[in-house]
Amino acid sequence: MGITGLLPFLEKASSACHLKDLRGKCVAIDSYCWLHRGAFGCAERLARGEQTDAHIRYCLKYVQLLLSYNIKPILVFDGRHLPAKAATEAKRRESRENARKRGAELLRLGRIDEARSFLRRCVDITHEMALQLIQECRKRNVDCVVAPYEADAQLAFLNRADIAQYVITEDSDLVLFGCSRILFKLDLTGNGRLVESTKLHLAMGCREERYQFVKFRQMCILSGCDYLESLPGIGLAKACRFILKTEDPDIKRALAKIPAYLNMRQLVVTEEYKAEFLKAEATFKHMVVYDPVERRQKRLTDPLDEGTPEEYCCNAGVFLDEDTAFNLALGNLDPFSLRPLDDWHPDKVTEAHGAGEIKRSRHPSIWQQNSSSAGEEGCEKQSLHATNTQQQQTFVKRPLMNAAFEEQGTKDTIADVLQAYGIETATEPPMKRLCPAEKPSIRSIAFGYEEVNVLEAMTLLERGESPKRNRNPFLVATNAAVSCREASNALLSPTKITPSNRSLLQNVSPVKRIDYSASGQTSGQRDFKVTSQSDNTATTAVTASRLSRFKRTNTIASCSISAGQKVISRFFCSQTSTGSTGTVNNDGDPIQDPKEATVESPTAIVRKFKSKQETQKLAAAALYLRSPEAQLKLRGDRTPEKRRTGCDYGTGLIEPASPSVEEALVTKVDSGIGGIDDETNASEGDGLSLSQKENDDNALNTVAAESSETKGRKTVRLSLFERKHATKIESEENMGSDDLAIVLDDDASDGGAEGKAENRTGNESTKTDLNTERGKPTFTNTAGGHTRSEKKTNSKPSCRRPGLSAVRGKPSKDAAGLTQSRLSMFGFQKKSSMQLDKR
């Protein structure tokens, strides 16, 4: 059920979002949504008990989509039913059962079409389906978790623990559970709607300083949620008005004032309701979830921390014994009977498991128990669960990625390091400054990745926006969707390893392997530790600086940097007079003596940078506005091929595509979905996609086909709708189609055709608006239906006749059922009569 009307209510707290903004992140998925949508397509077969895997393939398509953007997915499944929801569940089961019976009956009577509609409504997502998907995911090294109870709480836990930075769902309840970033309405083109908890006050219409998340949650519970029916006559709007009005922090006392505050004298707030309210609140706060890191069940938040009496948690689930809980979370048990169905164990995974053509994700598993297993999750774990030890700057060791090389320990040049990991080094090292520092005139227009990154972070910082794109393929997580502060801090400060400043190089560099916790002692050439006490000799200085340059950029790691000291990034060192020694190595990079690293606050550096480097900033801004391809061209493409082509996690469902190619496609598809007018063909001087279009030749891969098919479908659907109206008008006016004022054409019949997308770029969007959201999902009908009507009315009347394939299967009687308001909404009535008048 969720919260009725919450998503439209959250319009102001949401923004259009694309998966490309989530690169390098980890995303927890409410798998039920995908399974349910997937099962809908093969509902008949499922209802008849026939064998099918269409729904599984549907889900894997999404998994693949995420992997192709280098996003780590964690699929979360529902577990047992909460007692509080038992009634709702029973009701659902009953209605499904009824639908099944009626469907079967109609099927016997041979009324296939009617039977179909009932059979679709009776699809139930069973744990067997979930397990089927889980098993496919295991083959691909994609993590799955079965929640002890509701997936919602589990998703929220993963999000709050920062194991997953985003949550994908269709259920508005996730907001109440306290997720920070939720992606709704994700489609196969990668577009979705992002709701951020930091913006919730905007939706409530409340000043930020007066806003508390607790208030938001109380508002939602008051409006009616899964655990508590609303008081009669109270919906979101009234609940919001009440919550904003009341000052009383004690909600139990405040609840009594509802009738007075809302002018609803007839309303009675019983003691029972108050108690149930507190229980419902506790259910959201303290539901039992599973912590895959600690491998134990716990509550989403600790009742002691929140001061919640234990008796209120009676609906929030009970704990299982350790072993059962673990196996349930892995998906090995049937959640209801707790009978074993499988015996998979994360610690006993063999590579052979995924043998065959199926490619395995390289993301580290959340189930990797050894916290020293590092990689991404190692970092997560450290930032999450080892905050205390972090103060000692204890770095976790990552597993040896290339044992032969790493044990050897002699090859310490950048080229060697990269080569050891299969990165092509025939070209220059990726982080190499493209234009040497000694050529300042050229430097002002050419930038390395870091520069652009920093500039971008600062530019966005200035504007108070979140960074949108990853431009530096090596700074995977620094950029996208991290708050600006985080981004700039990661670049500016002597950082600890956090999820936001990981990089490929960090993993590649031997530096990472130094265990600083040991004794501060490090061995030979491997010590590239940059500290104020560092004693790099002249002979090792060049090599050391080259490698430490990598390190400093992202993880300036040292146990001996004391508070207040700051080793600033190479970029800033070279730009600030105090930071640079003035010496340059043979790469043209300044060799920075760590002793002279300035102790400056990030803001001070930014200020200095801003005043001194205005031209560079402008140039960088110009560069920022280019597509990734254009940037690469401008800077000279030094990125090793392997990295540029993105990840290679494909399973064959969707071929792994270069991220840039995907972006190109999305740009095209975006413009295709939104526009329903053919008469405007110009793809409005879209500077961003210029070079992407040049790349189109490469774009004809499976993803292309997928995307354009989707586009085609949508277009056909729109056309079908339009045609229905047209038919209606036609019959009403008693006119032949030749006389019909609405222009009909056959364009939509071949929906998947390449190139149409650009032609359909609607004239509805402002040409100069780079943030246009056309074609992206929105929460409100005003944004969906109404804009469409505006599009229609603003443009010349036109209507595409769908192809035969689109008409087939839809009984024409539907057209007769259209209401006048619907017609006028799409502008047909008006237009047709207008045109008819002319005649």
| Ordered DSSP codes for 619-685 | HHHHHHTS-HHHHHHHH---S-HHHHT------SSS----HHHHHHHHHHHHHHHH---SS------
Give the type of residue at 675: G
CB nearer to DNA: pick between 131 and 654: 654
CB nearer to DNA: pick between 11 and 162: 11
Q: Where in 51-70 is the site for DNA (CB under 7 A)?
A: 54, 57-58, 61
CB nearer to DNA: pick between 131 and 176: 176
CB nearer to DNA: pick between 572 and 779: 779
Residue reference for tokens 């309405």? 185
Q: Can you name the residues that pair with 407 across neighbouring β-strands?
A: none
In the bound complex, what is the minimum distance in angstroms from residue 830's beta carbon to DNA? 17
Q: CA-CA distance, 804 to 608, in Å (whole number)? A: 65
> Residue 784, interface with DNA (CB under 7 A)?
yes
**Residues 336-365 as x/- pattern, contact with DNA by CB under 7 A:** ------------------------------
In the bound complex, what is the minimum distance in angstroms from residue 183's beta carbon to DNA? 13
- Tell which one of 12, 37, 96, 397 touches DNA (CB under 7 A): 37
Question: Which residue stretch of 526-534, 542-550, 582-590, 777-785 sits at the interface with DNA (rule: CB under 7 A)?
Answer: 777-785
In the bound complex, what is the minimum distance in angstroms from residue 135's beta carbon to DNA? 19
DSSP label of 340? B
Q: Can you name the residues that pair with 193 across neighbouring β-strands?
A: 16, 184
Question: Which residue stretch of 64-72, 233-241, 280-288, 305-313 sits at the interface with DNA (rule: CB under 7 A)?
Answer: 233-241
CB nearer to DNA: pick between 512 and 788: 788
How crowded is residue 576: how many other Cβ atoms within 10 Å of its Cβ? Answer: 17
Q: CA-CA distance, 717 to 805, in Å (whole number)? A: 11
In the bound complex, what is the minimum distance in angstroms from residue 249's beta carbon to DNA? 23
> Residue 259, interface with DNA (CB under 7 A)?
no
Q: CA-CA distance, 242 to 234, in Å (whole number)? A: 10
> Residue 717, interface with DNA (CB under 7 A)?
yes
Question: Which residue stretch of 223-231, 359-367, 482-490, 529-537 sits at the interface with DNA (rule: CB under 7 A)?
Answer: 223-231
- Tell which one of 143, 226, 587, 730 touches DNA (CB under 7 A): 226
- Tell which one of 72, 217, 238, 711 touches DNA (CB under 7 A): 238
Q: CA-CA distance, 288 to 297, in Å (whole number)? A: 7
Distance from the first to the final alpha carbon of the chain: 51
Cβ-contact 760, 677 below 8 angstroms: yes
Helical packing angle, 659-674 and 702-732, nearest 10°: 0
In the bound complex, what is the minimum distance in angstroms from residue 160's beta carbon to DNA? 20
The per-residue b/e assignment along 178-195, b for 16 or more CB within 10 angstroms, e otherwise, is bbbbbbbbbbbbbbbbbb
**Residues 157-176 as x/- pattern, contact with DNA by CB under 7 A:** -------------xxxx---
- Tell which one of 110, 232, 440, 685 touches DNA (CB under 7 A): 232
In the bound complex, what is the minimum distance in angstroms from residue 147's beta carbon to DNA? 14
Residue reference for tokens 């009626």? 102
> Residue 816, interface with DNA (CB under 7 A)?
no
CB nearer to DNA: pick between 659 and 712: 712
Three-state secondary structure call for residue 836 = helix
Question: Which residue stretch of 221-229, 529-537, 597-605, 765-773 sits at the interface with DNA (rule: CB under 7 A)?
Answer: 221-229
In the bound complex, what is the minimum distance in angstroms from residue 234's beta carbon to DNA? 5
Question: How far lies 358's CA from each of 53, 293, 343, 652, in Å?
Answer: 16, 27, 21, 7
- Tell which one of 224, 448, 674, 762 touches DNA (CB under 7 A): 224
CB nearer to DNA: pick between 354 and 785: 785
> Residue 191, interface with DNA (CB under 7 A)?
no
List Cβ neighbours of 562 (8 Å cut-off, separation of 6 or more): none
> Residue 261, interface with DNA (CB under 7 A)?
no
Question: Which residue stretch of 126-134, 237-245, 370-378, 628-636 sits at the interface with DNA (rule: CB under 7 A)?
Answer: 237-245
Question: Which residue stretch of 234-242, 464-472, 523-531, 651-659 sits at the interface with DNA (rule: CB under 7 A)?
Answer: 234-242
What are the two backbone dihedrals, phi and then psi, of residue 73, each rounded to the nearest 5 degrees?
A: -90, 145
Q: Where in 89-108 is the site for DNA (CB under 7 A)?
A: 92
Q: CA-CA distance, 797 to 801, in Å (whole number)? A: 13
Question: How far lies 726's CA from each of 613, 785, 790, 795, in Å?
Answer: 60, 17, 18, 17
**Residues 267-306 as x/- pattern, contact with DNA by CB under 7 A:** ----------------------------------------
Work out whether strand 72-77 and strand 181-184 pair parallel, antiparallel, or are unpaired.
unpaired
Cβ-contact 364, 377 below 8 angstroms: yes
- Tell which one of 38, 192, 378, 473 touches DNA (CB under 7 A): 38
Question: Which residue stretch of 268-276, 540-548, 649-657, 821-829 sits at the interface with DNA (rule: CB under 7 A)?
Answer: 821-829
CB nearer to DNA: pick between 6 and 568: 6
Burial of 321 (0-12, 13-18, 19+ CB in 10 A): exposed
CB nearer to DNA: pick between 289 and 630: 289
What are the two backbone dihedrals, phi and then psi, of residue 18, each rounded to the nearest 5 degrees?
A: -125, 150
> Residue 112, interface with DNA (CB under 7 A)?
no
In the bound complex, what is the minimum distance in angstroms from residue 323's beta carbon to DNA? 30
CB nearer to DNA: pick between 743 and 807: 807
Helical packing angle, 449-463 and 484-492, nearest 10°: 140
Question: Which residue stretch of 229-237, 318-326, 417-425, 497-505 sits at the interface with DNA (rule: CB under 7 A)?
Answer: 229-237
Q: CA-CA distance, 125 to 321, in Å (whole number)? A: 26
In the bound complex, what is the minimum distance in angstroms from residue 253's beta carbon to DNA? 22
Q: CA-CA distance, 561 to 276, in Å (whole number)? A: 53
Q: Where are the alpha helices (DSSP H) in 269-374?
A: 271-286, 303-306, 322-330
With CB under 7 A as the rule, give the number of residues binding DNA: 52
Maximum alpha-carbon separation in the chain? 94
Q: Where in 8-27 is the site for DNA (CB under 7 A)?
A: 8
- Tell which one of 15, 40, 394, 513 touches DNA (CB under 7 A): 40
- Tell which one of 237, 275, 682, 816 touches DNA (CB under 7 A): 237
CB nearer to DNA: pick between 1 and 260: 1
How crowded is residue 492: how many other Cβ atoms within 10 Å of its Cβ? Answer: 24
The per-residue b/e assignment along 618-634, b for 16 or more CB within 10 angstroms, e otherwise, is ebbeebbebbbbbbbeb
- Tell which one of 80, 120, 512, 549 touches DNA (CB under 7 A): 120
| Ordered DSSP codes for 145-182 | EE-SS-HHHHHHHHHHTTSSSEEEES-THHHHTT-SEE
CA-nearest of 461, 476, 464, 429 to 448 is 429
- Tell which one of 519, 734, 771, 821 touches DNA (CB under 7 A): 821
- Tell which one of 65, 236, 396, 460 touches DNA (CB under 7 A): 236
Question: Which residue stretch of 228-236, 415-423, 616-624, 739-747 sits at the interface with DNA (rule: CB under 7 A)?
Answer: 228-236
- Tell which one of 3, 27, 492, 729 touches DNA (CB under 7 A): 3
In the bound complex, what is the minimum distance in angstroms from residue 822's beta carbon to DNA? 5
Chain residues binding DNA by CB under 7 A are 1-8, 36-38, 40-42, 54, 57-58, 61, 88, 92, 120-121, 170-173, 185, 223-224, 226, 230, 232-239, 709, 713, 717, 779-781, 784-785, 809, 819, 821-822, 825
